[in-house]
Amino acid sequence: NAGVTQTPKFQVLKTGQSMTLQCAQDMNHNSMYWYRQDPGMGLRLIYYSASEGTTDKGEVPNGYNVSRLNKREFSLRLESAAPSQTSVYFCASTASGKGVRAGELFFGEGSRLTVL
Amino acid sequence: GNSVTQMEGPVTLSEEAFLTINCTYTATGYPSLFWYVQYPGEGLQLLLKATKADDKGSNKGFEATYRKETTSFHLEKGSVQVSDSAVYFCALGNSGNTPLVFGKGTRLSVIA
């Protein structure tokens, strides 16, 4: 039972480099999310996709782009990495839909990114 | 807008001590409330939840009661273990299509 799978788990970048974090879920969930976790800041939402074909900005979207490739996959791209983007990134998914109350989020194991 | 405030840590307790982590919320409507736990090196996982006022969520010896009158959802455990050392997040959600709102997390360390 894979759940939510993120790759890579670790990455070191130089300022200005680009990279894409990949996320896939096998639970047939409609909604997917990207969060970043920083010390003392808790979890902050970067982008989310309520359903296939839609994406919306979260609390801290600047410097990031996302693609909901299909129902299973939701990628996060850093076009020009900056040291302020050093963080641990988490992908999550949940079942959702009209009439569904806020439900359980399933998280990946995280991707630790360092930007030098 | 919706928000969650939880007590700042870190919290350090001896094994078998009583644990309370406070969480209060601000929300419109009738939100669902959650506690998530993050063990070292892992992603978050749901610990317990409550979907309406006066509901009590419980799991692994942890409990939290949805108190609408005090807008609170405090996490409690009667006797903590070293294996409970983790970061605990309180969260709130209104509907299936809107993202959960998380508190900043409380780090718990339990020493033998």
pLDDT digits (tens, 9 = 90+) for A37-96: 998 778 999 999 988 999 999 999 999 999 998 999 999 999 999 999 999 999 999 887
pLDDT at res. B89 = 96
pLDDT at res. A97 = 62
Average pLDDT, chain A: 92
Q: Answer whether A40 sits within 8 Å of B97, measured CB to CB.
A: no
Residues A60 and A44 sit within 8 Å (Cβ to Cβ): yes
Question: What are the backbone dihedrals phi and psi of residue B32, each rounded to the nearest 5 degrees, phi first?
Answer: -95, 150
A99 contacts on B by Cβ (under 8 Å) = 96
Q: Answer whether A110 sits within 8 Å of B43, measured CB to CB.
A: yes
Tell me the pLDDT tens digit for each residue of B50-84.
Answer: 999 999 999 999 999 999 999 999 999 999 999 99
pLDDT at res. B49 = 93
Region of poorest pLDDT, from A21-30, A92-101, B69-78, B97-106: A92-101
Task: Give the separation between CA A21 and CA A45, rounded to whole angstroms.
Answer: 15
Half-sphere exposure of A116 (CA within 13 A, CB side): 4
Task: Give the separation between CA B45 and CA A109, rounded to whole angstroms.
Answer: 10
